[in-house]
Amino acid sequence: MEATGARRIGQSLAKQGILIAFALFMIGFTIANQRFLDPDNVMGVMRSSAILGVMALGVTFVVISGNLDLSVGSMMSFSTIVVLDLHDRIGPELAIPAMFLMTLGLGAFIGILVGYLRLNSLIVTLGMLSAIHGLTLTYSGGQNMDIDDKAGTWFSVFGRDEALGVPMPILIFALLAAVLGMALAKTPFGRKVYAVGGNGTAATFSGIRRARVVLSCYLISAFCVATAGLIQASRSLGSQNTVGQGLELEVLAAVILGGASLLGGSGTIFKTVIGVLILGFIQNGLLLVGLEFYVQYVVTWVIIILAVWLDVAAKRGRLWSSIA
């Protein structure tokens, strides 16, 4: 009995492991540097995590439905470049919806390939990573994109302004997280996403239109990417073609840290937000204690593997794998 009791405690510990690790990190960094929990610092971390976070929200849907999205980084570059270019051509009022439509179009393309044609999402989005990058470069001619009249445009509200004392990127992130979190946890659609990711065949037999659910997930992801591109463009008012390069893997790291399984069927928006914050605070904490930015890469590596290891170990009830 005691052994099972200990195991149960171990399992529930492992389930909440990511929260515990987060708490330990916060305590450690606060002891190491008093400025860490300073409201300004916390706000700064959250603001700089917002873009990554918004993208991670959409990828959470895709991952729960049992697929991957490696194209979000180049897609974010695309939407940033497009909205900046269109801003000067047709004005921000039209540029923003136009950019959202174009990004959603890309998402729909991926969704149709993965959902309706049943192609492997890893390769499709790998191909799209490359293709959208090429599309962006062709669109911009390889040039950086800048808004001409930086002082005279209201376009900067999404990235630079504050409302109720909170920076807009954080507000957008929080709002989107709340809406998508509700959609995933409380609506029939959300349950379908879990069902499709958990067991696609069973979901199909119980009358769920799997392809449509997958397509919806990629559309949500594209919408989030477009929002992230909007924040990025609005904050910088000028951008390189490679602004989102490499973000796809950081986003995925955040989602995995949050405990979503790559096999699909598990994960929540709340946990993804925690994953995003952990990455953000680690980065910031390491910088504050005077370590170079690249130390966070190594720390992230260790944390990802430990977090996922604890997760799978809790599920199988043993620490070490049974692979011979």
Partner 1 sequence: MQPGALSRNLKNGAIWAFIVLELIFFTVAGEYLSLSEKNFMDADNMLLLLKQSAPIGIIAMGMTVVMINGNIDLSVGATFALAAIVLLDSMTWPFMQAMGVGAIPLAWLFALAAGTALGALNGLIVWKTGVDAFIVTLGAMLGYRGLVFMYNGEQPTSHLNWTLVDFAEAQFLGLHTATWFLLLVTAVMWFVMNRTVHGRNAYAIGDNRAAAVNAGIRVGPHMMINFMIVGFLAALSAVVFYSESGSVNPNDGELYELWVITAVVLGGTKLTGGAGSIVSTFGGVLAIQLLRKGLSHIGADTETVNLVIGLILIAVLILDRQLNIKGREALRT
Query: Which residues contribute to the site for partner 1 (CB under 8 A)?
Result: 113, 117-120, 122-124, 126-135, 137-138, 142, 245-246, 249, 252-253, 256, 262-263, 292, 294-302, 304-305, 308-309, 312-313, 316, 320-324
**CB-nearer residue toward partner 1: 83 or 110:** 110
Residue 134 Cβ, how far from partner 1 at the closest point, in Å? 3
Taking CA 199 as the corner, what is the angle to CA 196 and CA 205, rounded to the nearest 5 degrees?
80
- C-beta separation of 225 from 103 below 8 A: yes
Give residue 237's identity as a one-letter amino acid code: L
Minimum distance from CB of 294 to partner 1 (Å)? Answer: 3
Shortest distance (Å) from residue 14 CB to partner 1: 13
Closest approach of partner 1 to the CB of residue 59, in Å? 13
**Nearer to partner 1 (CB atom), residue 119 or residue 171:** 119
Smallest distance, Å, CB 37 to partner 1?
26
Report the distance separating Cα 210 and Cα 117, nearest Å: 12
Judged by beta carbon, residue 119 or residue 183, the one nearer partner 1 is: 119
Cβ-in-10-Å burial (0-12, 13-18, 19+) of 211 comes to: middle
Q: For the packed helices 72-90 and 92-111, what is the interaxial angle rounded to 10 degrees?
A: 150
Q: Which amino acid is at 207?
A: G
Residue 141 in 3-state DSSP?
coil
Q: Which is nearer to partner 1, 180 or 247 (CB)?
A: 247
CA atoms in the 13 A half-sphere facing the CB of 137:
10
Is residue 137 packed enough to be buried (19+ CB in 10 Å), middle (13-18) or exposed (0-12)? middle
Which residue lies nearer to partner 1 by CB, 95 or 135? 135
Identity of the residue, 139 or 189, whose beta carbon is nearer to partner 1 in the bound complex: 139
What does the block give as tokens for 267? 């994960």
C-alpha distances in Å from residue 93, one per residue of 7, 42, 116: 58, 32, 34
Minimum distance of partner 1 from residue 166's CB (angstroms):
30
Integer distance in angstroms from the first to the last C-alpha of the chain?
Answer: 29
What minimum distance in Å lies between the beta carbon of 142 and partner 1? 6
Quick one: 260 or 288, whose CB is closer to partner 1?
Answer: 260
